[in-house]
């Protein structure tokens, strides 16, 4: 009987000890969390420097204002978003604020660097075309995003695009294009022109005034306000652009006007005015 009582007492003492240890562990952990919180909220971690990199269209102050970040606030305060943002000390909401406010911004990373620095890395959209719309022009990148409206297109060295069908627009958002295949052919044409110009001192892209993609089987260009070109379809576009550059640069006179047709046969035909 005494053995049973002794065993029961031992079990009760062990349970009491375990509970006490658990309470002590919880207390220590709670104390650690409180101390850690007080430490990270100390002035040591207040932001004193915000660095902006990669922006050519906006000033550093414009980007900082859009982000919602302020000098003097705690660096840990704005960390958040998805789990990657927490792991990498990124400001998810600040990134959203910048992208939604500044249409030229394609992507952004806002990162807190311990103890007191924030770095904002910007990737910008590159406009490639001007699209007429109700008396103005939409400056648009290769993905169809409208970065701004333009009333003086002559000050921008981008081709004016004809024949693109869409309904309305919103700055910072992609156009909802109806004839999407035509737009895809347009971007392929521009990309090919750009790539051809990279390896050549003669830049034909800078002389293109307009591109008409109304009919994807008869893509028309106007160059230097004196040469009309019918590329036909987008097929063999590399060959067509190489031929165009050679003919325009060396095959016709500097003041000569005319029509260059790639759609009538295997070789381009030039018809002078």
> Please, which pLDDT band fits residue 13 given cuts at 50, 70 and 90?
low
Any idea which fold 127-272 has? Rossmann fold (3.40.50)
Helices (H), 111-236: 180-198
Q: Mean pLDDT across the stretch 41-49?
A: 91
| Tokens describing residue 113 | 């660097």
- pLDDT, tens digit (0-9, with 9 covering 90-100), for 145-160: 999 999 999 999 999 9
- pLDDT, tens digit (0-9, with 9 covering 90-100), for 84-97: 999 999 999 999 99
Any idea which fold 43-124 has? Ubiquitin-like (UB roll) (3.10.20)
222, pLDDT greater than 90: yes
Domain residue ranges of the chain, discontinuous segments joined by +:
43-124, 127-272
- Determine the pLDDT at residue 14: 66
Percentage of the chain modeled with pLDDT above 90: 78
- Owner of token pair 């040469």: 227
pTM metric for this prediction: 0.82
Determine the straight-line distance between the first and last CA of the chain, rounded to whole angstroms.
123
> Please, which pLDDT band fits residue 167 given cuts at 50, 70 and 90?
confident
- Determine the pLDDT at residue 148: 97
- DSSP string for 96-133: HHHHHH-TTEEEEEEEEETTTEEEEEEEE--EEEEEEE
Q: What is the Cα–Cα distance from 237 to 245, expressed in whole angstroms? A: 12
Q: What is the Cα–Cα distance from 77 to 112, expressed in whole angstroms? A: 10
Mean pLDDT of the residues in the chain: 91
4, pLDDT greater than 60: no
Q: What is the Cα–Cα distance from 22 to 6, expressed in whole angstroms? A: 24
Nearest-Å Rg of the Cα atoms of the chain is 32
């Amino acid at each position: 009987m005494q053995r049973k009582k002794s065993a029961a007492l031992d079990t009760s003492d062990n349970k009491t000890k375990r509970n006490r240890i658990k309470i002590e562990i919880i207390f220590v952990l709670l104390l650690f969390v409180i101390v850690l919180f007080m430490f990270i909220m100390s002035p040591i971690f207040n932001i004193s420097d915000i660095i902006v990199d990669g922006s050519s269209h906006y000033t550093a102050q414009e980007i900082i204002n859009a982000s919602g970040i302020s000098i003097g606030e705690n660096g840990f305060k704005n960390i958040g978003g998805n789990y990657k943002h927490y792991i990498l000390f990124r400001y998810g909401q600040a990134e959203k604020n910048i992208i939604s406010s500044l249409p030229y911004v394609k992507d952004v990373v806002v990162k807190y660097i311990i103890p007191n620095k924030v770095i904002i890395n910007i990737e910008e959209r590159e406009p490639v075309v001007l699209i007429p719309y109700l008396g103005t022009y939409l400056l648009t990148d290769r993905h169809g995003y409208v970065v701004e409206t333009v009333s003086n297109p002559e000050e921008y060295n981008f081709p004016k695009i004809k024949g693109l069908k869409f309904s309305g627009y919103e700055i910072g958002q992609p156009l909802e294009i109806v004839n999407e295949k035509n737009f895809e052919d347009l971007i392929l044409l521009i990309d090919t022109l750009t790539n051809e110009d990279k390896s050549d001192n003669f830049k034909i892209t800078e002389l293109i005034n307009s591109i008409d993609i109304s009919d994807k089987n008869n893509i028309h260009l106007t160059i230097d306000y004196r040469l009309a070109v019918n590329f036909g379809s987008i097929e063999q576009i590399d060959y067509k652009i190489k031929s165009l550059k050679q003919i325009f640069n060396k095959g016709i006179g500097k003041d000569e006007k005319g029509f260059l047709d790639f759609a009538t046969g295997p070789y381009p035909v030039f018809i002078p005015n």
